[in-house]
Amino acid sequence: MLQKYLDYLMTQKGKNITAYDISGENNLADYVIIQHFNGNLDNKKFAETFMQKFGIGEFPDGYSRGEWIIFDLDRVIIHSFVADKREKYNLDKLWQNKKMDLVAKKSKKQS
């Protein structure tokens, strides 16, 4: 499912999409994806289209404010921020040594 989510995110207007392989770090998830949008409305619109695409019936945590929306998708967690909140909470730093090369991952799939 990770690749399906990444493929979809790449078609949206999210910026600086980054994925981290945290398998073995905890029991909550194997992967974390972080992205951001310029504003709350863009972030909320992304959440709505993501919910429709993947058949998610309940609004995710953070949807009402639109600043930091979290999709908990079993073994994949998606954090979708507005730019200033992404910078403020800096989750990228937490997992910086677990960053995945999305270009290489995508090209493997196409081979």
CATH number of 44's domain: 3.30.460.10
What confidence score (pLDDT) does residue 54 get? Answer: 97
In a domain, 40, yes or no: yes
111 falls within a domain: no
34 — phi, psi (to 5°)? Answer: -125, 135
Return per-residue pLDDT of the chain as tens, 111 residues.
899 999 999 999 899 999 999 998 878 899 999 999 999 999 999 999 999 999 999 999 999 999 999 999 999 999 999 999 999 999 999 999 999 987 544 434 443
Q: Where are the beta strands (DSSP E) in the chain?
A: 15-21, 31-37, 68-73, 76-82
Q: Which residues contact 36 (CB under 8 A, 6 or more apart)?
A: 14, 15, 16, 43, 80, 81, 82, 83, 85, 86
Residue 108 within a domain? no
**pTM across the whole model:** 0.89
How many domains does the chain divide into?
1
Decide if 65 is inside a domain: yes
- For residue 106, being part of any structural domain is answered with no
Residue 22 lies in a domain: yes
Render pLDDT for 64-92 as a digit per residue (tens, 0 to 9). 999 999 999 999 999 999 999 999 999 99
Instruction: Tell me the residue range of the domain where 25 lies.
Output: 2-101
Which residues lie across from 69 on neighbouring strands?
80
With residue 110 as reference, give the H or E element that holds it.
helix 102-110
